[in-house]
Each structure stands twice: as C-alpha cells, then as structure tokens.
Amino acid sequence: MAVAGLFGASQPFDASCALVSSPFLSPAWLAGVRLVLAFYMTFTLLFVLIWEITRTHNANQFFSFFTELTGIGLAAYLWQSGSQTAIYALRSRRAAATGVVSKPLYPLQSWPKTLQVLHMILLASIRTFPILVTIVFWTLLASAHSLRNTFLRYNNVSLHTINTLCALFEIFGTNTPLATWFTLVPLSIILCGYLGVAYITHATQGFYPYAFLDPEKGSAKLAGYIIGIAVAEIIIFSLVQGLVWLRTRLLRKRTTDGKVANMVQLKESDHELGQRAA
C-alpha cells in the first residue's frame, strides 16, 4: 500500500471519483468525449499503419517512433478511462434512481493495486508525453515537407497537434488529480528505455528514428539533445502539475459540490439499508 501511495494509488482508491468526473461535463458526456477521442486516435494510428503497409512500404518502422508509441499510449488511456467513466455514469444514474449506491462505483476502484498504479502512471504520461512530442516535432523536426500532401497533413496534425489537445482536455476538462512527483521516475525510465528502442532500430533496420540521435553527428551534440529532452519533460511535468493545481483551486466549488453530493448519497443509502435491516 505504501508503494502504491507513491504513485497516487493510495487506498481507498479515488474515493471522490475524480478520475471519472469533470467540473464541466456530466459523467455520461465525459465518457462520450473520451471514447470519441479514443476512436479518433485509434483510427488515425491504424490508418497510418495501413498506409505505410500498402503505399510507402515502411510499416516495419511504425513502432520505432516515439510519436506512434505515445499515440498508442494515449489511445489506450482514452479507451480505458472512457469505459470506466461510462460504467460510473450508469451506476451513478442507477444510484440516483434507486437511492442505493453500488460499490465500487467504477471497476478500477476494486482492481488490483498494480493496475491502479499503472493507470496513474499512464495518466501522468499522457498529460506530458504528447506535449513533449508536439514541441520536439514542430521545433526540431518539422519542415515544409511535413505538410506537403493530404496524408502528411492528416498524419502530422493528428499525431503532433491533436494529441496535445487530448492531453490539455485531461488537464483542464476533468477532475483528474495531481500526479505524485515520484511518478517522474517511471516516466524518466520510459524515456531512457526509448533510447534503447532507437538504437535497436538502427542496429536492425539501419536508420535512426530521429536524426539527432545519430552519434556520428557529434557525441556532445547528442548528449545535449538527450539532456535537453529530459529537462523538457521535467519542465512540462512541473507545468502540468501547476496547471492541475490551479484548475483544482479555481474550480474547487464545482468539484466539492460533486463530492458532497456523492457523500450524501452514500449516507442516505447506508441509512436506508440500516432501516431495512431493522
């Protein structure tokens, strides 16, 4: 339990249902938005993969790019959070109609701690990695060729701009809580692990996914890029923490009202059950 708490998965897990609620949208609408975004990201990734299989014949490179890997993580989070939110919406509606609260209010609350920890790490990653991908692409990698035709425009706008809009929606449009600072550890490990993927790609396929990872262009320059990206991730993580904290402070009344209503429902349900038992 102590280890789970380091990642924000302390018990009872998400008692306020912050992960499946929004200060602006009902749970049903929040579920709908998340699932629509999940479908869009999944469709885009599959479209790009199929295009590379049938047109450009370089699909073997698909899983070598951090952009695509980040997109897969984002789509996975949106499917997971969207389905959890949909179940929460159904159970909340049933509880409001019957006066009886069914626990857990959504499945993740009762899942093993390992899955809860992984969900919190995934949440932290999709609030920072898409922003990092967007910044690196449009500042270091993009050129006139990046928007040369319809496919490239769709691909690059979807995976290097809309991805960040999805992250911003989770930051500002939901009640998702602050990540713990310890979560930076697994995020850093993921970034370091990607370096291994990049060099395995070069060893097996003969190219670097990103040109700045080529050590032949200068070891000092390579080290600078790696350190710069690591520092950028820390800065982005810190900024996201600040934005989430600010959102929580500014919208505290909306969030608190939701918590109070939930607590009242629980108390009324317990009281009603006690009367029936008597």
Sequential DSSP letters for 114-143: HHHHHHHHHHHHHTTHHHHHHHHIIIII--
- Cα dihedral 11→182→165→140 (10° resolution): -160
- In the numeric block, which tokens belong to residue 42? 């999944």
For residue 82, give its domain range.
Answer: 2-277
The helices-and-strands tally (H runs, E runs) of the chain is 10, 0
A 10 A CB-CB count for 225 gives: 18
pLDDT, tens only, 89-135: 999 988 888 877 777 899 999 999 999 999 999 999 999 999 999 99
pLDDT tens-digit readout, 152-161: 999 999 999 9
Q: pLDDT of 168-186, one tens digit each?
A: 999 999 999 999 999 999 9
Give me the number of domains the chain comprises.
Answer: 1
CA 112 to chain centre: 20
pLDDT of amino acid 276: 47
Tens digit of each residue's pLDDT (9 = 90 or more) over 60-95: 999 999 999 999 999 999 999 999 999 999 999 888
251 phi/psi in degrees, rounded to 5: -105, 25
In the chain, the amino acid numbered 110 is: S
pLDDT digits (tens, 9 = 90+) for 229-261: 999 999 999 999 999 999 999 987 665 444 434
